[in-house]
Amino acid sequence: MTPMKPVSLHFLLAACLAWLLSPVLQAQENAINIGTFNVRYKNREDVVHSWDNRKARVKALIQRHSFDIFGAQEPVSEQVNDLLELKEYAHIGVGREDGKTAGEFSPIFYRKDRFEPLTSGTFWLSETPEVPSKGWDALLNRVCSWAQFKDRQSGKTFYFFNVHFDHRGNQAREQSAELLRKKIPAMAGTQPAFLTGDFNATPNTKIIQTIRGFLKDSRDLSKTPSTGPDQTVHGFEVGTEKTAKIDYIFVTEGIEVLTHGTLNDSEEGKYPSDHSPVMIKAVIKP
């Protein structure tokens, strides 16, 4: 009988380390790059900063940071179609004026090869959320587009909600937050959920505090310090930054946030939009 060779201590240590690290590596493999990005509606008065002059920069940013799924704010139908020139993405969402194609969207863009939408829809931020409508003291119709997705890579399911709160009506913003406080738990139940959007509200307002009452700000949960500026709104050119943080990504329990950052990409001193997108890398826990 051939005597067994002694097991190398180095081999044992390597095997133990691989066993310990396997859940971490698996989690990293299944991490999702999630973004929120107010791309600015196609306003003819923007001239130098018109959509036609910016759309290539917007698409380049999305690809450069490898968004897996993101909520956008303000695009009209033509802009949605322009963004879909990025062939790896599909979208969910409707125009806020008629529930079809009229007016701005609050769409969710997602990688077609990774995510399968199971259910989806849109509700209005108003007293009559099931039909196109303007709520409370809002200046404009506002919507929340949502979907339940299956991640083909991990097999996990989650909900994704995307909003743009009114920029004039404070009551509308406060009531919109209350509506989400009722809707999201009722729809998602115990499943993990993400909420992205431009809330037109700074962190110390009642609006954001209401949302923090049932969701967590991803910035607070990040395993690593947040990168980039704290503010998310500015002009179109470098040097026009304001101090307002109004764009957020919120998450439920069951989601681990690995990184958080505000992306301040610019080209030749020009930003792709008058908002900086926010991006996180997150993992849905087992």
pLDDT at 241: 83
Q: Which residues contact 193 (CB under 8 A, 6 or more apart)?
A: 158, 159, 160, 161, 184, 215, 251, 252
* Residue 80 within a domain: yes
* Helix ranges (DSSP H) in 141-280: 170-188, 206-212, 218-221
Query: Which residue in this structure is represented by tokens 């958080």?
Result: 260
The string of pLDDT tens digits covering residues 70-128 is: 999 999 999 999 999 999 999 999 999 999 999 999 999 999 999 999 999 999 999 99
* Residue 14 within a domain: no
pLDDT at 28: 76
The range of the structural domain enclosing residue 203 comes to 31-284
* Residue 64 within a domain: yes
Mean pLDDT, rounded, for 64-68: 98
* Residue 56 within a domain: yes
Say which CATH number the domain at 187 has. Answer: 3.60.10.10
Q: Where would I find the beta strands (DSSP E) of the chain?
A: 32-38, 69-73, 89-92, 108-111, 115-124, 143-151, 157-164, 193-198, 216-217, 247-251, 255-262, 278-284
* Residue 23 within a domain: no
Instruction: Tell me the pTM.
Output: 0.91
pLDDT at 9: 59
Query: Which residue in this structure is represented by tokens 């529930």?
Result: 99
**What is the number of domains present in the chain?**
1
The three-class DSSP label of residue 173 is helix
The three-class DSSP label of residue 59 is helix
Round the average pLDDT of the chain to a whole number and report it: 93
pLDDT at 25: 47
* Residue 15 within a domain: no
pLDDT at 266: 96
